[in-house]
Amino acid sequence: MKIGLVCLPFAGAGASFFHPWAALTAQAGDRLVVVPVQLPGRERRIDAEPYRDAVVAADELLPDVVRQLDGLTDVVLFGHSLGAVLAYELAHRVLAHPDLVLRHLFVSGSPEPHTQRPRRATGLGDDEFLARVSEFAGFSHAALEDSEMRELILPTLRADVEMHENYRPSTNDRLPAPLTSLRGSHDSLVTAAEGARWSEVAGAGFEYVELPGGHMYLTESAPELLKLIDVAV
């Protein structure tokens, strides 16, 4: 049985981040079909206004996700950092959809939905904003060193960070589907305790897992991550 692996990106990232995952899943037997979600304001949707509200984003992304699934009914959701809260919101909508079955939610590099980090980047001047985002993420995108690319990318990155920092869950109901919280073992942004607190919103099985690396562990540990997902579902 084919299962759609719907992937939600971190702040500033686009669907192309997940394109290499398709080749990796093919090597593992092609049971998982990677469905990368493209948020507005980047890549092929560069001219579209970016979201600033995660609840609105989940509502509006669902029809696109259904279209991309192309008839697949069984769904696994994965999201990292900002993508984790988007995946969580989308999970509740997938559960309510009459033609879809949510097999599992994987959230990565994020505190549980009701926890907000005390230090914020929203509202800072450009240089301070980028410095704080780099501090949060543990890396700085090379494109931000180019003045023209920076001017192009900055508005969407600001919108993403605002969406994440102002996020409030749309429901207090526990998720009636298996939930796995993932974290890089040396993540300096999200603590192990914060990652484990996703158990508070899980209603049908919970697991907390660490993989080697920092906050952006998934850039180097994609094969291990996809193997973990494949085994779990």
Q: Which two tokens stand for residue 232?
A: 């779990």
- Catalytic choice (81, 108, 110, 181): 81
Catalytic residue flag (residue 81):
yes
Instruction: Indicate if the alpha-carbon torsion angle 34, 184, 208, 231 is positive or negative.
Output: positive
152 vs 147: CA distance, rounded Å: 9
Q: Which residues are catalytic?
A: 81
